[in-house]
Structure 1
């Protein structure tokens, strides 16, 4: 055999051997890799991460929580041209290949062989990109590339082309926390997919290649070049005409950040919802697309936010200018852009925008620069509330706050209030949270003072104590002495409480004592009924007994309570004596819209429970008008109906509801009636008279202040709402001289309730069964005939007074009659 033929034969044998070995190697590699590939059928059931959505009661968006913005869409909801834009740039033969584009692979291999590049374009189909996104890492290796190709072919056999394209469009990262084309359209253009223009579609299609460094916001010029290339490719492939492509290329780049369209500002409530959802469903609650509908009423929430901010500004302005926020060291020749950098990290708070002073002007004004580099001129009148002009208060480099004025383009100098406030408003009949503000600005401080701050309620606690005394036989006409009193403990220490005004007014009816907020009367009441009994009784309003001080100081409101718990307690008065639970999540749905949870609250019911005098449990009354009569006498059964005459039973209430859950009774309905009547008087002629401006007879409540004016409160009710406002400082410093509840908190309450009560019918307060009308004369004595002030007392209380005391008998000395301690 000639040498050449021998050489050729051995060459063929060697080639066949190498080919066999290569085939064996590739087969082995295929077997190893294919055994490790995941089951692509699982993609049909895949749940992509979606944020947690929180809505107000009317369906308007309140908040979106989650690290990713994603709104999965079905392929039929993606406009055809938007699909074509992605196909044009990513995989022109997408609908032709079986998962791997061999022409693209050959082109990539050729580039690898003829260039020095380690990574070359081409070779990855849309299907391969989906495989890499869901199952594989971004590691660059031949083994990973082969696994990607094998997985892509498996996906093509298991899924349709449209299913694969939908996965790609929903999974791809578009920068700025936007995942999926729908989230990208909203973020960059504030539009839904069917609202996009052709130039915007092409811009979006160009982002996934360089999501961080080449998106239309971070690098608009690079994004424009890529957009124009995509438009040319679309025209080349026949997806659009050349004229359409040219027109779209002529549109300037105009992307800008668009956050989700939050329409209701309730950040403190939204955070409460987020924490509650995590408590119920774990950390994944913010990634599974839950949709939570709350009980918040948007109009009331907006009114609450505005009332709190306006009220705090009003308070803060009373105490004058407290200086610039800080000073920034800036060069003398620094331009506006350089000045603006000094505001980095200083966020807006409510309507207050951070600004840095660039210069003062000879006319008393100033020029300031905002965080975006824009310049604002402050006129000399911009700081009128300080008594000075901006030029007298500011100098270059000062960081201050400005807010929009009433006129367009006008800005005023202002400051972040030192005081803080919270507002809680409940539907008194079922406990639904209708509005909540936890502070001046959530951006400035996320501490929720409505639910987390424990502060002393001061005199706004007194209605709870009065209710406890009425359970022991006192009533609004009972007379107690407003006079000095000294208590000594076992160690010889003395406590001598005082009234706010330092004065004493002698014998007083309890109605007047509450209207005038007399501290010494409250102390004597608590001493009369006993601290232990009072703590147990008051806990029925929803407080923890451990929260209530085990001593006489409790009578002055020294318990540390949250505004939310105080509002819940006042709801008991407003709804006729039922204890309702506070709730703010009405409904929870999953990403498919299926209802996972629906609240069914217990509702207050007037007339439900034991009717006094009907053989049920009697009240433990032993003290009447300050006199201890021992065991109570049997009560007279109430008449069947009222006659309207003095001394007769009040009208029977409507029958209780037959459906739904009934809230448990906290206090006697008759006690609730008496306290509501007294607190309406607080508004009509007491410490809350400013609320008369609302022009409603159903408005009632109680002011509260603590030592050194550290806390100012107003809690009350009107229409269906029970609302509490607290004002104070986080550092527990004084609010300032004479900053009582009626001055610091009540104006906020009024401005909120003005909106909340609009269109609401008047809440009735009719005497319930088991009460008798009596008259109180000028000396404070009661009778069932004659004239004088009208009061309603419980039937059993009147019977015991008749059996134990001549109501119209001779007067006793003040010392014998009133100084009961």
Structure 2
């Protein structure tokens, strides 16, 4: 009995003791309130830099960068570059109207009336803490919390840090509007599960953008920043539900919602729909990978948390992908890659690969290195023109040619060059030689101009892969990527000005002249014969165009690269993991540059150019060049039975172009010594 009496006495004394402390706390709080109010009033009229010594302009931003968002040229999202924390800043107009209201109600209910600091909030917090004997309420305003997240992240909390926080908050409040402060806070505060900012949080918990959040969903998010681990709805749904209820009650108390609406929202299920793959999703993965690589080189990894606009033209990308998918459809089919560029700027407008190739560890469009075959003859042609060899020069194209020169011998003896299927091409000028991709003619031209000069031409026109100056370089035995070849052909389309290919909208690629206008015009004229009467007739888009077919020795690589003045594009087809001959595809046996690749190019170019003006190719000054003669070549075969070539939808201009006449010179005969390499040559 006595013991129970003693316990009651102790409890009564403790209550009396707490009461006295509460009274004392209220008194102290009143003094503090007066002091804080006086200080705040003084600082409101003074410059915080002068009074407290902080300098906002010199304080580095320490906010965690978050993910980098890559967008297409029109601003539509392509995907995120993960940085550990997901962050996607958005304007307040792109948020649900309930997010800022709920955040202010639960975090800083007097935000719209007080300044950077809230003296009443500080006093209220102090009283609550003194009465309870522990920390019950925070006193930080939204402005202070923004400063803490943006400028002081990671610093230890102490008196000096609190003073700096207050100083920076006052200065920030003087410079920014309340709306800007609240928007920045909503884009920087941490919501748990690597989500920083409301947009990332909305996708993390509900798989929707912040603008689509309902009242109850916005209330759930608004309650997370105070303790994102404790209130985690994925791990502790009951706790999160209670916290959401507190936010809804705060909204009701602020007269933002009615009691009935509060009750209805409190009864709603959490409705979580987490999507862990959202920030790993990639639209147009081939283009995305290339843009990511270029961004890393351009910024040295300092792009975290930003939005980066790329050069991707979504219409061009869609058309390129559709064309590739139409011809490369079955799982057993080889892969394909296509790159499209704007010759006037170097901007890569599209980079498409066949579906099976998108699971490779490297990007076929920009990182693969495959034999270009006879598409490389373009560089030999340009080099010959640079050395004064005219398009009217006459060359002999026998079925095979033995080239015996010491510097070109291989391990078995002289280099023996064959035309495709050992066809006899006869005697012809250089235009017909390139139009019908005659190996024995271009082997002679390569020796005459020098393999090292061909390599230099290729490099200045855009090829960056290592190239050996071997005699068979003209037949394309060296590995190059579709991006490099598109870049090189784009140099001709721009009249001899090379623009480095770029996947990023800024900075713009600065072009520089690598070929004279005359050289570019003559090469373009000769390459137009490929499409309008040579191995690439299947690519003919119904308007002035130029290009070149290419097929490796064993038909394991097939190319078509071509251009009109507005666009340049290259298509590669082959098996990506091995040099496997393509013996049959869609009725073409074997697959060569003038068959499937040329048709993919055609099926892209026709709709891509629909509605765009027909621009004539640059003309050469001389007249009278003979038109290309028609030969039977694999590239000019008709579509197989049951297939029809898609008809162009654009205006069909007159394809008879003025042809230049140059002084006729005769190239070397088959008896000349010509440099040779041990590697096999290409086919047109």
User: TM > 0.5 between the two?
Assistant: yes
Give 3-state SS (helix, strand or coil) of 1:435's partner: strand
Matched, 1:711 2:557: yes
- In structure 2, which of residues 517, 535, 544 is the aligned counterpart of residue 687 of structure 1? 535
- In structure 1, which of residues 732, 756, 760 is the aligned counterpart of residue 578 of structure 2? 732
Shift of 1:707: 2.8
Which structure has the greater CA radius of gyration? 1
- In structure 1, which of residues 399, 414, 421 is the aligned counterpart of residue 336 of structure 2? 421
- In structure 2, which of residues 432, 445, 448 is the aligned counterpart of residue 525 of structure 1? 445
1:756-785 CA-partner distances (Å, limit 9, x unpaired): 22223333136322x1215589999xxxxx
Matched, 1:434 2:349: yes
Higher RCO (C-alpha under 8 Å, 6+ residues apart) = 2
1:360-412 CA-partner distances (Å, limit 9, x unpaired): xxxxxxxxxxxxxxxxxxxxxxxxxxxxxxxxxxxxxxxxxxxxxxxxxxxxx
**Structure 1's 57 and 665: CA in aligned 2 closer, same or farther, altered over 3 A?**
farther
- In structure 2, which of residues 328, 331, 334 is the aligned counterpart of residue 312 of structure 1? 328
Q: What's the RMSD between the two structures over aligned residues?
A: 4.5
Matched, 1:62 2:78: yes
Shift of 1:724: 0.6
Distance 1:746 1:86 in 2: 59
User: In the alignment, which residue of structure 2 is the partner of 1:449?
Assistant: 364
Moved more, 453-462 or 428-437: 428-437
Give 3-state SS (helix, strand or coil) of 1:286's partner: coil
Distance 1:464 1:421 in 2: 23
Give 3-state SS (helix, strand or coil) of 1:745's partner: helix
Matched, 1:565 2:484: yes
Contact 1:295/1:434 (CA < 8 Å) preserved in 2?
yes
Shift of 1:429: 3.8
User: In the alignment, which residue of structure 1 is the partner of 2:567?
Assistant: 721
Matches within 5 A, 1:123-142: 123=138, 125-126=140-141, 133=149, 135=152
Matched, 1:767 2:619: yes
1:712-746 CA-partner distances (Å, limit 9, x unpaired): 21111235211111123343331432232334433
- In structure 2, which of residues 401, 415, 418 is the aligned counterpart of residue 495 of structure 1? 415
User: In the alignment, which residue of structure 2 is the partner of 1:412?
Assistant: none
Shift of 1:578: 4.2
Contact 1:436/1:450 (CA < 8 Å) preserved in 2?
yes
Distance 2:458 2:446 in 1: 12
Distance 2:148 2:285 in 1: 38
User: In the alignment, which residue of structure 1 is the partner of 2:16?
Assistant: none
Distance 1:443 1:263 in 2: 13
User: In the alignment, which residue of structure 2 is the partner of 1:296?
Assistant: 312
Shift of 1:308: 3.3
Contact 1:459/1:705 (CA < 8 Å) preserved in 2?
yes
Matches within 5 A, 1:175-214: 175-185=192-202, 188=205, 196-212=213-229, 214=231
User: In the alignment, which residue of structure 2 is the partner of 1:285?
Assistant: 303
Shift of 1:176: 3.6
Contact 1:85/1:234 (CA < 8 Å) preserved in 2?
yes
**Structure 1's 221 and 522: CA in aligned 2 closer, same or farther, altered over 3 A?**
farther
**Structure 1's 210 and 420: CA in aligned 2 closer, same or farther, altered over 3 A?**
farther
Structure 2: runs of 5+ lacking an equivalent = 1-51, 584-589, 632-655, 674-684
Contact 1:456/1:558 (CA < 8 Å) preserved in 2?
yes
**Structure 1's 498 and 71: CA in aligned 2 closer, same or farther, altered over 3 A?**
closer
**Structure 1's 84 and 296: CA in aligned 2 closer, same or farther, altered over 3 A?**
closer
Distance 2:95 2:668 in 1: 88
**Structure 1's 762 and 212: CA in aligned 2 closer, same or farther, altered over 3 A?**
farther
User: In the alignment, which residue of structure 2 is the partner of 1:639?
Assistant: none
- In structure 2, which of residues 107, 115, 119 is the aligned counterpart of residue 98 of structure 1? 119
User: In the alignment, which residue of structure 1 is the partner of 2:605?
Assistant: 753
Structure 1: runs of 5+ lacking an equivalent = 1-37, 114-119, 319-418, 588-596, 603-660, 781-788, 806-814
Matched, 1:461 2:312: no
Give 3-state SS (helix, strand or coil) of 1:674's partner: helix
Distance 2:630 2:132 in 1: 109
Shift of 1:420: 3.6
- In structure 2, which of residues 370, 380, 389 is the aligned counterpart of residue 473 of structure 1? 389
User: In the alignment, which residue of structure 1 is the partner of 2:29?
Assistant: none
**Structure 1's 677 and 484: CA in aligned 2 closer, same or farther, altered over 3 A?**
same
Shift of 1:482: 1.6
1:762-813 CA-partner distances (Å, limit 9, x unpaired): 33136322x1215589999xxxxxxxx9983444x25xx6xxx9xxxxxxxx
Length, aligned pairs only: 574
1:509-554 CA-partner distances (Å, limit 9, x unpaired): 544443433322222332344445544555553446x944333211
User: In the alignment, which residue of structure 2 is the partner of 1:174?
Assistant: 191
Matches within 5 A, 1:668-683: 668-681=519-532
**Structure 1's 101 and 677: CA in aligned 2 closer, same or farther, altered over 3 A?**
closer
Distance 2:395 2:627 in 1: 11
User: In the alignment, which residue of structure 2 is the partner of 1:484?
Assistant: 400
**Structure 1's 53 and 466: CA in aligned 2 closer, same or farther, altered over 3 A?**
same
**Structure 1's 195 and 312: CA in aligned 2 closer, same or farther, altered over 3 A?**
closer
Q: TM-score normalised to the size of structure 1?
A: 0.59
